[in-house]
Amino acid sequence: MDDDEARYLIDQFNKFASWRVRYFEILFPYLAVGVAIAALYFSSIGGESSSINRSIIAFGFVAFLIITTVLALDRHTRYREELVLLEGHRFKYKSLPDSVMFNRIVERKFKPKDLKELLKREEERLLKRGY
């Protein structure tokens, strides 16, 4: 894949990565609404509900917040690493391997280490050809 195609692929991947991580940001307002509804509910029923119910709901909200934050950070880190690998290879060789396709690099099972191995094999191939 030549330099222009590689730039286009990297640009599209960058857009995808930024929007994919923003998906998690949408969940935080829903969490805030859920906390507000739970607070309104518990304040309206007063002392009738047990503290165990309140603890369970509070734990659920905190767990949800932690899980979504960890998932968002993990996804962001993965995409950042892949983007750096792609751009580094493109900058150095003014191309990317033809086997690097958009749908392949956005798959969940395709990890940064897989991309690193693929780019390393391509680099070895280019060095053998005397690039």
pLDDT digits (tens, 9 = 90+) for 24-65: 778 778 888 888 887 787 777 765 656 777 778 778 888 888
- What are the helix (H) ranges across the chain? 3-45, 51-93, 102-105, 112-128
How many structural domains does the chain have? 1
Task: Give me the pLDDT at residue 81, please.
Answer: 94
Cβ–Cβ under 8 Å, residues 93 and 6: no
pLDDT digits (tens, 9 = 90+) for 78-92: 999 999 999 999 999
Task: Please give the average per-residue pLDDT across 75-104, as a whole number.
Answer: 91
Cβ–Cβ under 8 Å, residues 97 and 1: yes
- How far is it, in rounded angstroms, from Cα 129 to Cα 61? 57
Task: Give me the pLDDT at residue 28, please.
Answer: 79
* Residue 7 lies in domain: 3-128
> Which are the contacts of 72, defined by CB distance < 8 A and separation ≥ 6?
21, 24, 25
> Which are the contacts of 112, defined by CB distance < 8 A and separation ≥ 6?
78, 81, 82, 85
**Closest alpha carbon to 13 in 83, 75, 76, 97:** 83
Q: What is the mean pLDDT of the chain?
A: 86
Task: Give me the pLDDT at residue 12, please.
Answer: 94
State both tokens at 88.
């580094």
Q: What is the pTM of this model?
A: 0.74
Task: Please give the average per-residue pLDDT across 103-130, as a whole number.
Answer: 89
